[in-house]
């Protein structure tokens, strides 16, 4: 079975550019999560969706970050404009929305803002 698919795997861009990260959740999963991982802060939740509806975006750092889930099989995380402090590994995870189901993670996008 295909797992969570993220693209691109690596992104290097200059400060001020728009960055779009993409995620395809596991088929049949109806919750989707975006996390950011840094050495200093570890893994932190940015936003999550249930049935394509944003439920908790309290982790989104600022207005430069936005996330969408137009359908059950696709989500994007956009940073505009990007800054060097946004450099991190961004993970997408999906989950079947039922009692006691674990989240399954993609292999992440390593983002470097120069």
How far apart (Å, rounded) are the C-alpha atoms in residues 23 and 9? Answer: 11
Q: Which is nearer to another protein, 44 or 83 (CB)?
A: 44
Q: Which residues in this chain contact another protein in the complex, by CB under 8 A?
A: 4, 31, 33, 35, 42-45, 48, 50, 55-56, 91, 93, 95, 97, 100, 102-108
Q: Which is nearer to another protein, 82 or 95 (CB)?
A: 95
Q: Which is nearer to another protein, 57 or 73 (CB)?
A: 57
How far apart (Å, rounded) are the C-alpha atoms in residues 13 and 84? Answer: 9
Minimal distance, residue 7 CB to another protein, in Å = 13
Minimal distance, residue 102 CB to another protein, in Å = 4
Which string of b and e fits 35-58 if b means at least 16 CB within 10 Å?
Answer: bbeeeeeeeebbbbbeebeeeeee
Backbone angles phi, psi at 96, to 5 degrees: -80, 125
């Amino acid at each position: 079975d295909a797992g969570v698919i993220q693209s691109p795997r690596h992104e290097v861009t200059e400060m001020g550019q728009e960055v779009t990260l993409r995620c395809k959740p596991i088929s049949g999963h109806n919750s989707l999560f975006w996390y950011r991982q840094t050495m200093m802060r570890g893994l932190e939740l940015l936003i999550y969706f249930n049935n394509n509806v944003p439920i908790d975006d309290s982790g989104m750092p600022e207005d430069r970050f936005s996330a969408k889930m137009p359908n059950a099989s696709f989500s994007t995380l956009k940073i505009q404009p990007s800054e060097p402090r946004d450099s991190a590994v961004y993970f997408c995870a999906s989950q079947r929305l039922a009692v006691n189901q674990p989240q399954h993670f993609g292999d992440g996008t390593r983002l470097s803002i120069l």
